[in-house]
């Protein structure tokens, strides 16, 4: 199982990070050891002083496929969830400056928090989601604002990486990312329903 993630997929987030909006999806992968499930807490690792939360819509692949045409992408997933792409921003910044890969900053243990899944909706580009930090909204997202739509992401990614049953796709974060602190509680709402809860320890 692999966790495929898309970076800079919302223009307002790319802007807040000082990044250009990319022509093609920015793709990276987290290993299976990054999974954090069942609303378990997140423990801040010792190698970073600045972990950011990034709330993202996640889909689960339920059929193997390679080079999937966009018009058939819908056949390859039937459930969605919320995820937090935990990012060691200080480490990522250092790696970016040196032109090195992001893996250590993005794929570390338990950096991919995923909520329980719910069935997908007919129009995946009409899904709203929100992150609340200690009870107040910090990210308000709508999939209509994605630069690359879910089906386009599946088509693009599967040219390079065969998608297999059980893989997860993180589809990018809207603006409003920020640092986590020990004691914080993050709660994610998908279409108004609370699906995700993650305490920072």
**Positions in the binding site for Mg ion (CB under 5 A):** 54, 85, 173
Is residue 9 a contact partner of residue 172, using CB atoms and an 8 Å limit? yes
**Cβ 89 to Mg ion, closest distance in Å?**
11
**Cβ 174 to Mg ion, closest distance in Å?**
10
**Cβ 71 to Mg ion, closest distance in Å?**
26
In which region does residue 151 sit, left (phi positive, over 0), alpha (psi from -120 to 50) or beta (all else)? alpha
Closer Cβ to Mg ion, 102 or 117, answer by number: 102
What tokens appear for 185 in the block? 């509680």
d(CA 73, CA 81): 17
Closer Cβ to Mg ion, 54 or 187, answer by number: 54
d(CA 27, CA 5): 6
**Cβ 103 to Mg ion, closest distance in Å?**
14
Largest CA distance in the chain: 44
Closest residue to Mg ion, judged by C-beta, is: 85
């Amino acid at each position: 199982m692999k966790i495929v993630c898309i970076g800079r997929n919302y223009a307002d987030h790319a802007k807040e990070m000082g990044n250009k909006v990319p022509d093609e999806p920015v793709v990276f992968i987290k290993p299976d050891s990054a999974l954090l499930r069942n609303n378990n807490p997140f423990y801040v690792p010792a190698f970073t002083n600045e972990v950011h939360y990034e709330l993202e819509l996640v889909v689960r692949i339920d059929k193997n496929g390679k080079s999937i045409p966009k018009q058939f992408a819908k056949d390859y997933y039937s459930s969605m969830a919320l995820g937090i792409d935990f990012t060691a921003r200080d480490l990522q910044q250092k790696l970016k400056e040196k032109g090195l890969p992001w893996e250590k900053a993005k794929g570390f243990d338990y950096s991919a928090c995923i909520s329980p899944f719910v069935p997908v909706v007919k129009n995946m580009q009409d899904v709203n989601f929100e992150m609340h930090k200690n009870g107040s909204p910090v990210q308000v997202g709508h999939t209509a604002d994605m630069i690359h739509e879910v089906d386009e992401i599946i088509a693009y990614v599967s040219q390079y990486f065969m998608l297999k049953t059980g893989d997860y796709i993180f589809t990018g974060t809207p603006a409003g990312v920020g640092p986590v602190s020990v004691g914080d509680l993050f709660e994610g709402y998908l279409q108004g329903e609370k699906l995700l809860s993650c305490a920072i320890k």
